[in-house]
Structure 1
Amino acid sequence: MTANRADLGEDSSRETARARRRGQRRDRVFDAAVELFVEQGYEATTMDDIASRADVARTSVFNYFARKSAFLDEWSARRRARAFHALPPTVAAGSLRDELSAIMQELAAISGASRRETTALIGAAVVALDLLDDHPLSHEFTSVLRRRRAELRPGVEPSLVGMTIATGYFAILRAWIGPGRPPFDLRERLGDLVDLVLDGAALSPSSART
């Protein structure tokens, strides 16, 4: 019995180590792809280029990312995870407007800290992905809105509001990217988007409390 438990423990440790190494290789491939997209452009970068930069076999790249656009999906997913799932508890304890504003501020901070990268990848995503067709960002916003449905006006559909916010976000981000200085303050513009949408969709603070 003891030997069996030891064997199981060793098997589990080996499996954990293999999973960790696989995750590290996948991250290396992802990082290599993003670097190349920034340096030479999304369209000009091939899967062979990515394999060479990551120092892995070409088949390994396809094992981790079956198509080139999957790198854009992953890039977007990582940004969403930071913005939606890393907020302090005090934000969730506030109002719907507070939570959406905090999410937008975090998204703005991420883009502001990596504007060159954002320019390269959002520009590619607009072409390679349909950002307006049931995008995961719409689902993230809709999830927040459904959880806080009591703060919305009667008859307002959370999915419609979520889609509107996500579409507005992409439109604002698309206008913000590019060479040279940003044309406007991204944090301020995304905050204005939240206010504009919620002024039409949300109950007034006094109504929400009753």
Structure 2
Amino acid sequence: MTTPPVRPGAGRPRASSRETLAEAASELFLERGFAATSVADITTRAGVSRSSFFNYFASKSDILWAGLDERIEALVVALDAAPVEGGDAAVAARIRDVVAGVGADFAPDPLALGIVHATAMGIVDELEREAAVRRARIARAVAAHARAAGADRIRADVVGAAWGGAVLAAIEAWAQEGAGRTALAPFLDRAADAVSTAIGGAAEGEVSQLRVVVQAAAFEQTLAFYRDVVGMPQAEAYEADGGARVAILAAGRATLEIANPAQVEFIDRVETDGDAPSDRIRLAFQVADADAAATRLAEAGADVEARPRVTPWNSRNARLRGPAGLQLTLFQELDPH
């Protein structure tokens, strides 16, 4: 980790009264609705004075957002203090480290409860409006750091908007999945992966694209299988003299996985019980539903070498043999909890 994680600020009033107020407010929002609950109702339920309420919160809305606001404030400070040297990859790694700190020890709070019960509390519009404010605050901080590191204004603003959206999307997904059952950190990590893929900040090097070239005698059949059945959109196509044809299919993010023989044997045992050894080159496609994809490919003529199964690293993998003799792995990343 290149930058210390974000931690909420110290020096605030003791947490017990604040937590009591937050708990009382959450109960009342559920019982009566947000609009029908007054500050006086909250302080009466909590057994504290009105002045004590305003020691902790500026308004009813702040009860929902106070925990996240502390972390956003710390994020802003951390990004402002972070070094700005290095290329795009170094900048992206620093931003990711700081954003990851938002999820450190983030316990379920009124915001998570409000997201799950927004309709019952009558705060759907309130949440949307206030979430936009927090997205913008994160976006400004990230964009400022990116500009300080040398990014032009458009790229910096796009990067900032992506990270602002990622943090709020992760919090909403965490709440909906049951914030008390799992940590926020894995959801932030998944959101960060999405940002890295979308803006191309995951890695830096001389190679800007990985392209696998496959010779296929049955050109039309092979093209239809990978384009229409596997689901890889056709990006380009060309023809030349003598019947020469080529089609280039888009496959999302491309990586090159290099494994030694021991790793290959291990993967073969995990994916196939060792009875369908890997070719020297095997294509792996990440899909949303490995079972459905494997069924679809098999119905289109692929040979199933190993049916979908859960791996020790919490993915669901299947292995097939497709047109042009290509060995395929389908893998679905499962939820972290």
Shared fold (TM-score, shorter chain, > 0.5): yes
1:191 maps to what in 2? 192
- In structure 2, stretches of 5+ residues that fail to align are 1-10, 207-337
1:34 maps to what in 2? 22
Q: Is the 8 A contact 1:91 1:98 kept in 2?
A: no
Q: CA deviation at 1:192?
A: 0.8
Q: Is the 8 A contact 2:25 2:42 kept in 1?
A: no
Change (3 A) 1:155 1:70: closer
Higher RCO structure (Cα 8 Å, ≥6 apart): 1
* Structure with the higher strand share, 1 or 2: 2
The CA distance in 1 between the partners of 2:84 and 2:171, in whole Å, is: 25
Q: CA deviation at 1:189?
A: 0.7
The CA distance in 1 between the partners of 2:83 and 2:191, in whole Å, is: 17
Give CA deviations for 1:128-165 in whole Å, capped at 9, x if unaligned: 231454x144233323322332553x562533432232
2:99 maps to what in 1? 104
- In structure 1, stretches of 5+ residues that fail to align are 1-19
Q: Is the 8 A contact 1:100 1:194 kept in 2?
A: no
RMSD value, Cα: 4.1
Correspondence for 1:44 among 23, 27, 31: 31
The CA distance in 2 between the partners of 1:186 and 1:36, in whole Å, is: 28
Larger radius of gyration: 2
Q: Is the 8 A contact 1:141 1:162 kept in 2?
A: yes
The CA distance in 2 between the partners of 1:73 and 1:115, in whole Å, is: 12
Q: CA deviation at 1:36?
A: 2.9
Q: CA deviation at 1:170?
A: 1.6
Question: What secondary structure is seen at the aligned counterpart in 1 of 2:13?
Answer: helix
- Farther off after superposition, 158-167 or 118-127: 118-127
Correspondence for 1:161 among 159, 181, 187: 159
Correspondence for 2:13 among 21, 24, 27: 24
The CA distance in 1 between the partners of 2:189 and 2:72, in whole Å, is: 19
Count, aligned residues: 178
Q: Percent identity?
A: 23
Change (3 A) 1:188 1:118: same
1:145 maps to what in 2? 143
Q: Is the 8 A contact 1:122 1:174 kept in 2?
A: yes
Give CA deviations for 1:175-208 in whole Å, capped at 9, x if unaligned: 2213374599314312213312431xx597459x
The CA distance in 2 between the partners of 1:91 and 1:120, in whole Å, is: 37
Map 1:111-122 to 2 at 5 A. 111=106, 114-115=107-108, 119-122=112-115
